[in-house]
Amino acid sequence: MPPSAAASPAPESRPAIPEAGSAAVSAPVPARLPDLADRFASRTEGMTASEIRALFAVASRPEVVSLAGGMPNLAALPLDLLASEVAELISRDGQVALQYGSAQGVPLLREQITEVMAAEGIRAHADDVVVTIGSQMALDLVTRIFCDPGDIVLAEGPSYVGALGSFAAYQAQVRHVAMDDDGLVPAALAEALSQLAAAGRRAKFLYTVPNFHNPAGVTLAVARRAEILELCRRYDVLVVEDNPYGLLGFDGQTYPALRSMDPDNVIYLGSFSKTFASGLRVGWALAPPAVRDKLVLAAESATLCPPTFNQMMVSRYLAGHDWRGQVKSFREMYRERRDAMLGALSTYLPAGCRWTHPDGGFYVWLTVPEGVDTKAMLPRAVRARVAYASGTGFYADGLGSRQLRLSYCYPTPERITEGVRRLAGVLNAELEVLHTFGTPDRAATRSVGSGTRRGPQTPSPDTT
């Protein structure tokens, strides 16, 4: 939002409380609000609100089925048990839990994190783990230590909106690399790398979500993993592997982490937001020592240290409870919801729609028939009491106007089915208008690559 649009009714301009006996109140307090447009750093130009924000107040009404958000469903958490755990934590260890800690994170939790990562074949030392405030902070710090303005980052197209937000905040340029149903396409990566090399450039890193991709709902085929790692090695490009959903494979399957296959060239990002509780904001980065040291320094200037209390709570939970059993409950809950969504999509959606079939995670990526603009359609969908995340938010280059992301993580199966039914109604109405009146002028310019070019969006919890 430009500063000029931000002038609100301004409780700011009320007079200050007079301080008895002080010269304070004689300070000038002009009625005008300052025009700060010329003060902000140039990086703020890339900071824009996410598309769904404007609709959020409407979309969060109870009568609207929101398939837009990425909020994990916490219904399966054993709250009474957690309550007694946390009470004991405060009673017994409050003097430590409520105090500053190290910037790198609580040592015991870092040990435990290495055990969590072992499920995906990672062998790591706790010294190389940096605890962060959600993996979003890890993303922010990785970008901070690697990206000067104008530096290039490779990322899948589409890509996680929060990553695009961090890249924009540090004025990095995103070059998208194509995906298909088996994830990132090695030939497309090879082409991007060789084009950059031919131009005398080198990407700072490849950012990838290999498992149960957000927003695409696909998983990088195991056979492609070594090929992608070798390509990045050959062109001397680091890999940033973001893996918040890796343990949420619906058949209990896990995939070998890229980090397990090339420890020296991969920075791995993990999170407890989807496997335990997002509101604690505990994530981590696992990085080669030289990178780890920079991450710790950057973390110190960002927040001094992550909250000790939250780290100790996660640590107790991992130590004292069947967290693997809990993850299994989450998986089963999400699988039921995925089934509801795929079933409803098959039942209700008009011909010409295509969608991905996730075998884990939270999301389905839907491509609608030619001529339909998902961003333009969103207000009409919300009027029909269903919300989604339109596709353009997941690209840095304006693509995605024929796509949208559907989340099945939060609503009940019944609500998911009803939401998809409503979405189908909206799509049918759009198509009817198109068929009756022909493709409108603006639709004629909507083929791949011709969407309005706009900056990436900052993330918002409702679109994570």
Q: Interaction with a second copy in 41-60: which residues (CB under 8 A)?
A: 41-44, 47-49
**Residue indicated by tokens 């890999």:** 239
Stretch that binds a second copy, among 159-167, 176-184, 332-340, 427-435 (CB under 8 A): 159-167
Q: Which of residues 362-381 bind a second copy (CB under 8 A)?
A: none
Q: Which of residues 413-452 bind a second copy (CB under 8 A)?
A: none
Tokens of 4: 């000029």
Q: Which is nearer to a second copy, 297 or 429 (CB)?
A: 297
* DSSP class of 210: -
Q: Which of residues 298-327 bind a second copy (CB under 8 A)?
A: 298, 300-310
23 binds a second copy (CB under 8 A): yes
- Return the residue of 108, 190, 197, 226 that touches a second copy, per CB under 8 A: 226
Q: Cis ω on the peptide bond leading into residue 18 (within 30° of 0)?
A: no
- Return the residue of 27, 57, 198, 199 that touches a second copy, per CB under 8 A: 27
Stretch that binds a second copy, among 98-106, 342-350, 388-396, 422-430 (CB under 8 A): 98-106
Helix 161-169 × helix 134-146 angle, to 10°: 40
Q: Which residues contact 143 (CB under 8 A, 6 or more apart)?
A: 153, 166, 167, 169, 170, 172
Q: Which is nearer to a second copy, 225 or 385 (CB)?
A: 225
CB 350 within 8 A of CB 424: yes
Phi/psi at 336 (5° precision): -60, -40
- How far is 394 from 194, CA to CA, in rounded Å? 24
Task: Give least dist CB 267 to a second copy, A.
Answer: 11
- How far is 382 from 407, CA to CA, in rounded Å? 15
Binding-site string for a second copy from residue 58 to residue 77, where x marks contact by CB under 8 A and - marks none? -------------xx-xx-x
CB 69 within 8 A of CB 461: yes
Going 82 to 83 to 88 to 89, the CA torsion angle's sign is positive
- Return the residue of 222, 319, 429, 444 that touches a second copy, per CB under 8 A: 222
For a second copy, how many residues bind (rule: CB under 8 A)? 133
Binding-site string for a second copy from residue 161 to residue 200, where x marks contact by CB under 8 A and - marks none? -x--xx-xxx------------------------------
Amino acid identity at 423: L
- Return the residue of 178, 297, 319, 429 that touches a second copy, per CB under 8 A: 297
Q: Are strands 386-387 and 65-66 parallel, antiparallel or unpaired?
A: parallel
Q: Which is nearer to a second copy, 37 or 444 (CB)?
A: 37
